[in-house]
């Protein structure tokens, strides 16, 4: 085990400078639980800025996905279609309620779910499709929504990486019936651990509030709508603490600045990697908008793994992910096996380079230089 710190780490969380002031206000207020002033300010800000339906802050994106599964009454026998190339929570939230998980392949050379193949995956039991916006980039959401509506299937967006506004386009998280976001430390807007459920259909709002409040109607009670609160539905402890919401609000208020800085980091990266791309060593994603982090594809798995090791020797922390869910132990033991060649290929060849809001042009050049040396040697 190498205990030397990386000179250029994979991620460095960004501070706006206003987080502690907000947290101090929470300490002083004595209102430390959830759904207080800062939670409401965050939710209002997000609803107004992105045009979301009702926003509900949660303890994580995983919790928001679990809430979605309860809200849609997912039960044993229901089928939920998720991409194999995603984080565990996308599937686990629905599997935990008894759903059968059906895995969709990626598009060739693109980590997003291939929606042209959905017809072959649906059955009478299909209840939900969960698209994942990899690196904050979506793939043909209008077509997916049309398909789902036509077949009476719900869409829950796993928008964990997708809090972004694309000029002239609808924000991701406004398409699905529901959407889940993450404010984990590794995401570009963060409060350590945190998330949000977006409810785009008014008929589900009051039930979503109940699910977030341990199955009680406490939210309505706090608004003086009822005289006492009690257990009325399923639910769990999904409210974000006011300390975290206060931290998050400071970050949200600077989202435009944060997005702009990251866009510049991405531009520098494209420039720093240009010669390797032209020589055919690396393939960059081909997107019209800027991804939330820097990823590329190597020729094969062994070259990708060697490049990560080579960067590590030079104190630069690169990474790979995900191990496709259809090949996981849990899926092997519980669900039908699928062969998903595009997901497997992407998992084998994808590499993620260090990427953070305050990354400098000099750091990016250094990463580019080391990668270039690797390919000279290789
Ligand atoms: C980060 C992430 C999650 C989990 O987010 P948490 O807030 O840590 O629960 C889920 N799905 C995707 C695609 C993610 O990137």
Q: State residue 167's pLDDT score.
A: 62
pLDDT tens digits along 140-158? 999 999 999 999 999 999 9
Helix, strand, coil % over all residues of the chain, rounded to 5: 45, 15, 40
Q: pTM, whole model, 2 decimals?
A: 0.96
Tell me which residue of 320, 358, 315, 319 sits closest to 13, measured CA to CA: 358
- Which residues are 78's β-sheet partners? none
276 Cα: distance to centroid of ligand 1 (angstroms): 31
pLDDT score, position 134: 95
- Residues with beta carbon inside 6 Å of ligand 1? 60-62, 86-87, 89-90, 132, 158, 160-161, 182, 184, 195
- What DSSP designation does 116 have? G
Q: Would you mind telling me the total number of residues written for the chain in this entry?
A: 378
pLDDT confidence of residue 220: 93
d(Cα 257, Cα 357) in Å, to the nearest integer? 10
pLDDT at 303 (0 to 100) = 97
Kindly give the residue spans of alpha helices, DSSP state H, lying in the chain: 19-29, 37-50, 61-71, 88-95, 141-151, 205-212, 218-222, 242-252, 255-272, 274-278, 301-313, 329-334, 341-349, 361-377
pLDDT cut 70: percent of the chain above it? 98
pLDDT tens column, 225-239: 999 999 999 999 999
The pLDDT value given to residue 158? 98
Q: At 218, is the pLDDT very low, low, confident or very high (cuts 50, 70, 90)?
A: very high
Tell me the per-residue pLDDT of 331-356, one tens digit each, with 9 for 90 and over.
999 998 899 999 999 999 999 999 99
CB 253 within 8 A of CB 16: yes
Q: Residue 132 Cα, ligand 1 centroid: separation in angstroms?
A: 10
Atom of ligand 1 nearest to the CA of 89: 10
Q: Ligand 1: distance of its center to the CA of 62 in Å? A: 6
Return the best residue to mutate from 67, 82, 89, 96 for the ligand 1 pocket (most ligand atoms within 8 A of CB). 89
For ligand 1, the distance from its centroid to the CA atom of residue 343, given in whole angstroms, is 18
| 87 CA distance to ligand 1 middle (Å) | 6
Q: Are 183 and 160 in contact (CB under 8 A)?
A: no
Q: What is the mean pLDDT of residues 288-314?
A: 95
């Amino acid at each position: 085990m190498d205990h030397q710190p990386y000179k250029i780490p994979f991620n460095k969380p960004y501070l706006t400078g206003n987080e502690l002031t907000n947290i101090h206000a929470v300490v002083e207020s004595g209102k430390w639980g959830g759904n207080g002033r800062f939670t409401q300010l965050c939710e209002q800000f997000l609803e107004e800025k992105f045009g979301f339906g009702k926003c509900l802050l949660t303890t994580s994106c995983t919790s928001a996905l679990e809430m979605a599964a309860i809200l849609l009454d997912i039960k044993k026998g229901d089928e939920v279609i998720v991409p194999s190339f995603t984080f565990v929570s996308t599937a686990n939230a629905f599997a935990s309620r008894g759903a059968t998980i059906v895995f969709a392949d990626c598009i060739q050379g693109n980590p997003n779910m291939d929606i042209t193949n959905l017809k072959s995956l649906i059955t009478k039991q299909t209840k939900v499709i969960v698209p994942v916006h990899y690196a904050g980039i979506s793939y043909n959401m209008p077509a997916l929504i049309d398909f789902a509506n036509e077949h009476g299937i719900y869409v829950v967006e796993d928008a964990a990486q997708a809090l972004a506004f694309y000029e002239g386009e609808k924000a991701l998280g406004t398409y699905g019936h529901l959407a889940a976001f993450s404010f984990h430390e590794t995401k570009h807007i963060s409060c350590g651990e945190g998330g949000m459920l977006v409810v785009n259909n008014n008929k589900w709002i009051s039930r979503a509030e109940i699910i977030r409040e341990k199955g009680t109607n406490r939210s309505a009670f706090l608004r003086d709508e009822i005289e006492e609160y009690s257990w009325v539905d399923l639910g769990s402890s999904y409210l974000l603490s006011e300390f975290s919401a206060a931290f998050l609000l400071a970050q949200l208020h600077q989202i435009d600045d944060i997005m702009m800085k990251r866009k510049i980091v991405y531009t520098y990266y494209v420039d720093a990697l240009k010669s390797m791309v032209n020589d055919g060593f690396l393939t960059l994603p081909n997107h019209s908008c800027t991804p939330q982090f820097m990823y590329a594809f190597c020729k094969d798995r062994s070259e990708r793994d060697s490049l990560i090791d080579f960067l590590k020797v030079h104190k630069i922390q690169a990474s790979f992910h995900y191990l496709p869910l259809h090949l996981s132990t849990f899926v092997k033991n519980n669900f039908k096996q699928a062969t998903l060649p595009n997901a497997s290929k992407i998992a084998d060849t994808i590499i993620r380079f260090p990427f953070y809001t305050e990354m400098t042009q000099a750091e990016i050049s250094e990463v580019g230089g080391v990668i270039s040396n690797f390919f000279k040697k290789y």
